[in-house]
Every structure is written in structure tokens, then in C-alpha cells.
Amino acid sequence: MKKLIELQKKLKPIVKGSENPFFKSRYFDINAIIETIKPIIDDLGIVISQPIVILDGKNILKTVVSDIDGAVLAESSMIIPETNDPQKLGSIITYYRRYSLQSLLFLQAEDDDGNRASSKVQTQTVNVLKLLIQNTDTTEKLESIFKSSEFMQNYKMLNEQGVNTIKEFAKNKKNQLTQQNNGNQSNQ
């Protein structure tokens, strides 16, 4: 824990060097995070890895912060939603990598209020949550998704419009699963 505290003391705010012309905003990308933290973690003997692992048939992005001796200082796991679109998958993985590092290392976030994200991030977050909901095949799995820390971390970032969108989407999915379940029971 001592090394993690030392790391946080040495980290400076990350320059927002990337520009989103559509939203006329600036942000720091994953490469800016890596460029900022790499020299410091090297000096402190800290290693960060972000492997994709399979757990219970789901792809999971793990972020592990450990010291050079292998002791884990901090870690997180996020379920990667299934998609057949490689472009979306790459965006989701990059998004999760960036926000996992921001959260675990207590990096300065793009939005100072800590609760709301930019329009771009709102759209990405809504899409990630929709994929999580859409890819469930039972009401039990749907309920467990709502209770997962990955879902709640993303859900808390939404503004009112995003929350309403996800509530409506989840309600429709639950109705769909209930109808399927009722249809399956009547066929038995």
C-alpha cells in the first residue's frame, strides 16, 4: 500500500492532449495516461497489467497494480460486453482500460464533479450498459447484472437522460425475457 500512496503523491494532472472536434472538448487518452505513469511506476517498482481473461464464459478486463515482487496493490475487473463489431469491441476495451486506470490510481478525471461524464462518455456508457443488458438470456442473469459492481460503476456516471434510457431499455428486456419464459412454460 505504501508504494501506491507514493505513486499517488508523485502523479501530476494529465494533460488533455486529444481533441474531440464533434463535442469541441479536450480529453486525455490511454496513451497520455501511460506516458504519465510509466516513468513513475518504473521508479517505484510497480507493474500494471491489463489482461483480458475468461471467467464463467465471459471476457473480463482485469487491471492489476502490483509491486515488482508480485504483491497485488490494487485490482479491478470489468465484464466486456459481447459484440460482433470489432470496432466497438476495441472502443469498449480502450474505454475500460482508461477508466480502470483512472479509478485505481486516483488520476484526475476529465470531469471535476466526479459524477457526470461528457456527452461522448455518456453515449459510450449507455451503449456499454445496453450491451450488458441485451446479452442476457434469463431474468436471473439480468437481475445479477444490475447488482454487479461493473454495472453500478458505469450507471453512476450517467446523467438523468442516460439513467432514463437504461431504465427503459432494461424494462423492455425484462418484459421480453418474461414473455419468452412464459412461452417456454406453456410449451411444456
In DSSP notation, 41-74 reads HHHHTEEEE--EEEETTEEEEEEEEEETTS-EEE
| Domain, as residue range, for 179 | 111-188
- Residue 21 to residue 41: CA distance in whole angstroms: 32
Q: Is residue 141 part of a domain?
A: yes
**pLDDT tens, position by position, 85-105:** 899 899 889 989 988 998 888
Q: Kindly state whether residue 160 falls inside one of the protein's structural domains.
A: yes
- pLDDT value for 114: 37
Is residue 158's pLDDT more than 90? no
Whole-angstrom Cα Rg for the chain: 19
**Rounded mean pLDDT, 34-63:** 93
- Give me the pLDDT at residue 59, please: 92
How far apart CA 148 and CA 187 sit, in angstroms, is 33
With b meaning 16 or more CB within 10 Å and e meaning fewer, what string describes 150-175?
A: bbeebbebbeeebeebbeeebeebbe
How many domains is the chain partitioned into structurally? 1
Task: Identify whether 104 is part of a domain.
Answer: no
Whether 122 shows a pLDDT value over 80: the answer reads no
Domain-located, residue 143: yes
Q: Is residue 172 part of a domain?
A: yes
Measure the CA–CA gap between 107 and 11, rounded to whole angstroms.
Answer: 8
Q: Note the pLDDT tens digit of each residue in 49-79.
A: 999 999 988 899 999 999 999 999 999 999 9
pLDDT at 113: 36
Residues 32-43, mean pLDDT to the nearest whole number: 91
Please give the angle made by the CA atoms of 115, 80 and 94, to the nearest 5 degrees: 65
Q: What is the pTM of this model?
A: 0.56
SS3 115: coil
Q: What percentage of the chain exceeds 90 in pLDDT?
A: 29
Number of H helices, E strands in the chain: 7, 6
Residue 36 pLDDT > 90? no
Structural domain contains residue 13: no
Q: Is residue 131 part of a domain?
A: yes
pLDDT score for 117: 41
User: What average pLDDT does the structure give for the chain?
Assistant: 82
